Structures are given as structure tokens and as C-alpha cells.
Amino acid sequence: MKIMKPISRALRRPEQVFPTRMTLGVMKGKLKGAQTGHSLLKRKSEALTKRFRDITKRIDDAKRKMGRVMQTAAFSLAEVSYATGGNIGFQVQESISNNARFKVKARQENVSGVYLPQFEADINESINDFRMTGLGRGGQQVQRAREVYSKAVETLVDLASLQTAFVILDDVIKVTNRRVNAIEHVIIPRTENTIAYINSELDELDREEFYRLKKVQEKKQIATAAADAEMAAKKLREEAERLNELEKHETEDVEKLVVKSEEDKEDKGEADQEKTVDTTELVAETEGDVIF
Amino acid sequence: MADTSRGWSADTRTRLSHYGNFLADINQTLSTSVIEQKLNKKLIEDFNYIKSQATYPLSKFMDYITYSYMIDNILLIITGTIHNRDKGEILKKCNPLGWFDTLPTLSITTDLNSLYETVLIDTPLAKYFHNCLSIDDLDDLNIEIIRNILYKEYLEDFYKFCLAELPNPTDEIMERLLSFEADKRTINICINSLDTDLSSDEKLKMLPSIGLLASNDAIKYQLSELSDLENLKILMSSVGPYKDFFNDSTSAGATSKSLEDSFYEYEMNLNRNAFTQQFTYSTIWAFIKSKEQEIRNITWISECIAQNQKDKINNYISVY
């Protein structure tokens, strides 16, 4: 097979398309079509190549045969000139009538969609224009030479039809192979590249979308947390106020009590201290919760 | 290919050098046709040389020899005229041995009657034409018939001349030679007309009235009625000298030694024997015929060499 030139990378570059899901679908369809076409064309090319090899072989045979036949023919002509002792070419030429004895018929044969012309020899045995030539001498040799030459022309006709088929098939095979290669090495990779490009673009979009969503969620959470903390602080404050008020009431009671009894004073002061410690701890705890 | 042909052409040149330097001025590669052409030229020169020295009756005898070539030439011209060929082209193809001064004028005439009245009447062949020519006869098929009728007339006339005019050993030898020539034609016409639709009357018109076969009316009649080759063989087996010809050739032309070869060989033997008699005019005939055979042989051999068919190279006729 021929050595192919490396295909330029530019040819396989993805097409300039807008990366959408619809284009992706279109591209996938195109790839599928290209693959089917490729396998079909490949099969066609194989069928043609098979035929081509067959014809090449037959041309070889026909050429060899023609060599032999032509040699016999030329030799029989030598025999004629020996037997008649002169040139009878003119007599033969002049006795040709208008009815052709040897006709070539052409028909067409279809090989995987290629029309090959086929030539067929058609000999009308009843026509013999120079059967009188060499009546006096050498007539048999003349007739024999005529037969041998008819065979030679038949071989030529065969060869002509094979050669024509050869040339046409050669052309068609070249075209088909070029198409197969173009699909295999350009169209399919390019479509694949385009699909990959579209996929990557779509993935990128997906990722962006995900990150955006996440960001939104985070913002939302921060917002809720802030709201919670405010609520908690509000509660604390209320609590603290309530406690203060309670303390106020207690101090008034205590003053009243101090006035009443001096002995209980020490006990009450200790208990008071303990309570303030408790409340500061509680505030610290709630603050830590808010910060999380 | 070019090398081998140059090789054999050089070889042929040296081998044939005793034949005269007839190939000396050929520069290009020798082809069979060139050899044949040159050999023929040599023959004609020899013939004309002898003829220029001849007196009656030899001159008349030699004229008679040329008549057979004249017949061929005239028919060639007539054929060409029927088909409107170029005159110069046909004249080139004429055999120089059968050349006569009025030959080129033949092609000018278009009407066959005027052809006879103006041209042929002055040629020595007029009397032969007189017997067979009618205007309707001249189409393609009949040209061959006319040729053979003319030839028959010519042979008979020559035969008569030989017996009447020539001194003793010559007439005997010429009788033998011409009889054989006539018989050869008879047999050939019969064989070659087997596949044609010639009637036996037409055949009878073409068969010469001299020779061994013609002397026996029964054989002559049977010959004209023949329908296949086998019958001819049976018929010929009763004729002494020609018996052996048909034993070898199982089917005519197909075996290594064909009927034609047998004829040529027999004819050459007769010619060789003609040389054994001294002081005869028939030597001239024998010389011309042998020379022609030699040309055929040389052509055959060169053809065999040129076409690389060396196994058939010995199929020529050699009697000397």
C-alpha cells in the first residue's frame, strides 16, 4: 500500500460550533453516519480490490496468450507468403466487402456500483471475403492464416475489455480509498474532537453552576446563623433584665431584712456572690454557641 | 530484441555474401521484407540481362515466362480500378517481371469494354482475355476465377508454343514442367474450392486441358465434382506421381510437410533434372523457378529466425 502523508492536525481540529446540547446531538448523529459510511465504503473498496486483482491476473494471462497467438499468426503469414510466393496483401485488401465478419459487441457489467464495459467478439462464420484468394496456390495457407488471425483479434478484444476495466477500476478504487481514508482520518477524528470539546464545555458549565449553588447555600446559612444568634442574644438580654429586676427586688428585701436582723447577713452575701458567678458563666456559654 | 535482430542481420549479410553484394547498401536493420525485395531485384536484373542477349526463339520463350506475371499485374490493376485505388500505389505493387509499357494506362480506363478495346488488345494477353471476358464477370469474386482462367489459357498457349517452336530436348522438358504446373494448379483449385460455391462447370473452365490429370477425362470430371478432401485423396491415389503427396498430408496444410511443400519439392526436382540436359532453353525456365524457390527459402529462413521459430527452419525445399 501507499505511504500516506501525515494528516495535518489542523484538519482534525474541532469545528467552530456553539457548544450546546443540541449541537452535541447533531454531532453524535454525524459521527454515527460517518462510521456507517466508513464501513460501507471500506466494504466497497474491498470488493473492488478483489475484482481488480482478478482482472490483473486475467490481463497477465491474456497478455501471455496474446504473445503466443500473435507469434503463431505472424508465422502463419510467413507460411502464406512462402506458399503463394508473393505478396497477396493487395488481393486480400481489395476483396473485402462491406459486411464485417468480425464484430465487437459492447455491454456493461455492474461491479459494486461501477459500470465496466465488456467487449465481446462476434464472428459471422458465413462471411468469408477472400475464400477465392490463392485459388491457384496457397489457398489453404491463406485460410489458415485467416483463422489464426481471427483468434488473435479475439484475444485482442478480450484484452481490450480487461484493460478498460482495469483503468476504470483503478480510478474508482483510488476515489473510494481516498474517501475511506478521509472519513477514517479526518472526519471521524474531527467529529470526535468536536464532541469532546462540547462535552468539556458542558462540564465546565455544570461545575460553574454547582459552585454557584453552593455559594448561594452558604450565604443562606450564614444569614440563618446570624438570625439565630440575634435571637439568642435577645433572649439573654431579656433574661438578664429579668434577673436584674429580681435582684433589685431582693436588695430591697435584704435592706429590709438587714434592718430586721444582722445575724443572717453573712450567709445572704455568700449566696449572692454565687449567683453572679453563675450568670456570667451562662452568658459566656451562649456567646460561644453563636460563634460555633 | 533489437540486439538479436542486428546480430542475425549481420550474420545473414555474411552468409549471403556469395550471392552478390545485394545487401551491401542497406544501413538500417535488416528485415525479412528488405531481404526479399533485394533478392527479387537481383532476380529481375539477372532475367533482364539474359533477355537482352536473347534471340528467337529464346526471346519469345522468355516473353512467355513473363506472361504469367503480366496476368497478375493486369488483374491487380483491374481490382484496383474497381475499388478506385490510387494508381501510383498499385503500380508499385506490380511485379516488374510482368511489366509492359501500356500497364499504367490500364488504370485510366473505367469501362471494361474500353479496357479491352484500347489496352489489352495490344498486349500479348489479348487472346487469353478474349475467351473469358464479359463485362458482368468483373466483380470481386470473379477476379480470382478470371485469374485462373487466364492462367489456364496461358499454360495451354505456352505448351503449344513449346511443342511447336522449340527444338528437341527443350520441348520434352518443358512438356514435363508445364504438365506438372497444370496438374498442380488443377489439384490446388480443386482443394481450395471445396468450401466455395463454385459449380463444377465453373471449375472445369478453370482446369487446364494439359497435364497428366487432364489427359484422363474421367479423372478431370471427377475432380470437378469433388466434395471433400478424402475423395480427392482416393482419386489421387490412382495417379502415379502424385500418389505420395497425399500420404504425408493427413489434413492439408496442417502437418509439417504440407501438400504445398510436396508440390514445390517435386517441381524443384523437375527443374533440377532440366539442368541435366545440355543446350536447352528450358534451363532458363528452370533457373528462374529455382531462383524463385531460393528467394522463398531465404525469406522463410529469415522469417523463422526473426520470429524465433527455429524448430521449423528446416521446412524449406532443397533439392540441389
Which domains, from first to last, does chain A contain? 18-208 (1.10.287.3240)
Q: Is residue B101 part of a domain?
A: yes
Task: For residues B171 and B160, give the distance between their C-alpha atoms in angstroms, rounded to a whole number.
Answer: 10
Q: Is residue B66 part of a domain?
A: yes
| Amino acid making up residue B151 | Y
Closest by Cα among A206, A201, A81 to A134: A81
**Partners of B195 in the beta sheet?**
none
Closest by Cα among B44, B76, B74, B40 to B62: B44
Tens digits of per-residue pLDDT, A254-264? Answer: 777 766 766 55
| Amino acid making up residue B195 | D
What percent of chain B has a predicted confidence (pLDDT) above 90?
0
Residue B2 confidence (pLDDT)? 39
Task: For residues B75 and B67, give the distance between their C-alpha atoms in angstroms, rounded to a whole number.
Answer: 12
Q: Which of A2-6, B65-69, B95-99 has the lowest mean pLDDT?
A: A2-6
Find chain B residues with C-beta within 8 A of A71's C-beta: 307-309
**Distances in whole angstroms, Cα of residue A196 to Cα of each of A34, B100, B171:** 16, 97, 112
Is this model's pTM higher than 0.80 or not?
A: no
Q: Is residue B141 part of a domain?
A: yes
Q: C-alpha dihedral over A168, A171, A176, A178, to 10 degrees?
A: 180
pLDDT-derived band at B163 (thresholds 50, 70, 90) equals: confident
- Residues B207, B224: contact at Cβ < 8 Å? yes
Find chain B residues with C-beta within 8 A of A90's C-beta: 76, 79-80, 90, 93
* B279 three-state secondary structure: coil
B69 touches chain A (CB under 8 A): no
Find chain A residues with C-beta within 8 A of B80's C-beta: 90, 94
Find chain A residues with C-beta within 8 A of B147's C-beta: 135-136
Grid coordinates representing A65 are 496468450
> Does B192 contact A85 at a Cβ distance shorter than 8 Å?
no
How many of the other CB atoms lie within 10 Å of CB of A46? 14
Among A97, A126, A135, the residue to mutate for chain B (most B Cβ within 10 A): A135
Residue B267 confidence (pLDDT)? 86
Q: Is residue B114 part of a domain?
A: yes
Q: Where are the alpha helices (DSSP H) in chain B?
A: 2-15, 32-53, 58-82, 87-93, 112-114, 126-132, 140-165, 168-192, 200-206, 212-215, 217-225, 229-236, 245-248, 259-276, 282-306
- Residues A140, B232: contact at Cβ < 8 Å? no
Find chain B residues with C-beta within 8 A of A82's C-beta: 296, 299-300, 303
A72 touches chain B (CB under 8 A): no
Length of chain A measured in residues = 292
Residues 232-261 of B with CB under 8 A from A: 252-254, 258-260
On the question of pLDDT at A216 being above 90, the answer is: yes
A221 touches chain B (CB under 8 A): no
Q: Which of B177-181, B187-191, B225-229, B293-297 has the lowest mean pLDDT?
A: B225-229
Q: Is residue B283 part of a domain?
A: no
* B265 three-state secondary structure: helix
Task: For residues B272 and A266, give the distance between their C-alpha atoms in angstroms, rounded to a whole number.
Answer: 185
**More confident call, B182 vs B82:** B182
Question: Which of A4-18, A102-116, B16-30, B106-120 holds the top average pLDDT?
Answer: A102-116
A94 touches chain B (CB under 8 A): yes
> Does B148 contact A136 at a Cβ distance shorter than 8 Å?
yes
User: Which residue in the set B93, B141, B191 is minimally distant from A140, CB to CB?
Assistant: B191
> Does B300 contact A78 at a Cβ distance shorter than 8 Å?
yes
Q: Is residue B108 part of a domain?
A: yes
Grid coordinates representing A68 are 503466443
> Does A86 contact B82 at a Cβ distance shorter than 8 Å?
no
Q: Which of B7-21, B38-52, B84-98, B290-304 has the lowest mean pLDDT?
A: B7-21
CB burial class (10 A; 0-12, 13-18, 19+) of residue B224?
buried
Residues 152-181 of B with CB under 8 A from A: none
User: Which residue in the set B193, B195, B299 is minimally distant from A82, CB to CB?
Assistant: B299
Question: Which of A157-161, A226-230, B124-128 holds the top average pLDDT?
Answer: A226-230
User: Which residue in the set A71, A95, A140 is minimally distant from B192, CB to CB?
Assistant: A140
**Partners of A123 in the beta sheet?**
A102
**Distances in whole angstroms, Cα of residue B283 to Cα of each of A110, A152, B192:** 71, 44, 31
The count of structural domains within chain B is 1
On the question of pLDDT at B281 being above 50, the answer is: yes
B138 touches chain A (CB under 8 A): no
Task: For residues A12 and A187, give the distance between their C-alpha atoms in angstroms, rounded to a whole number.
Answer: 7
Distance to chain B for A78, nearest Cα, Å? 7
Pick the residue from chain A with its C-alpha nearest to B251.
A140
Residue B3 confidence (pLDDT)? 42
- Average pLDDT for A4-15: 74
- Residues A108, A117: contact at Cβ < 8 Å? yes
pLDDT-derived band at A205 (thresholds 50, 70, 90) equals: very high
A99 touches chain B (CB under 8 A): no
User: Which residue in the set B82, B296, B307 is minimally distant from A85, CB to CB?
Assistant: B296
Question: Which of A105-119, B217-231, B246-260 holds the top average pLDDT?
Answer: A105-119
On the question of pLDDT at B1 being above 50, the answer is: no
Tens digits of per-residue pLDDT, A29-65? Answer: 999 999 999 999 999 999 999 989 999 999 999 999 9
Core vs surface per residue A59-82: b (16+ CB within 10 A) or e:
beebeeebeebbebbbbbbbbbbb
Find chain B residues with C-beta within 8 A of A95's C-beta: 79, 140-141, 143
> Does A140 contact B260 at a Cβ distance shorter than 8 Å?
yes
**Which residue range(s) make up the domain with B159?**
58-165
Distance to chain B for A123, nearest Cα, Å? 18
Residue A171 confidence (pLDDT)? 92
> Does A141 contact B260 at a Cβ distance shorter than 8 Å?
yes
* A115 three-state secondary structure: strand
Q: Is residue B205 part of a domain?
A: no
Which position has the grid cell 526436382? Answer: B269
Total CB pairs under 8 A between chain A and B: 97
Grid coordinates representing B204 are 472445369
DSSP letters for B126-163: HHHHHHH--GGG-SHHHHHHHHHHHHHHHHHHHHHHHH
Q: Is residue B123 part of a domain?
A: yes
- Residues B150, B132: contact at Cβ < 8 Å? yes
Residue A84 confidence (pLDDT)? 73
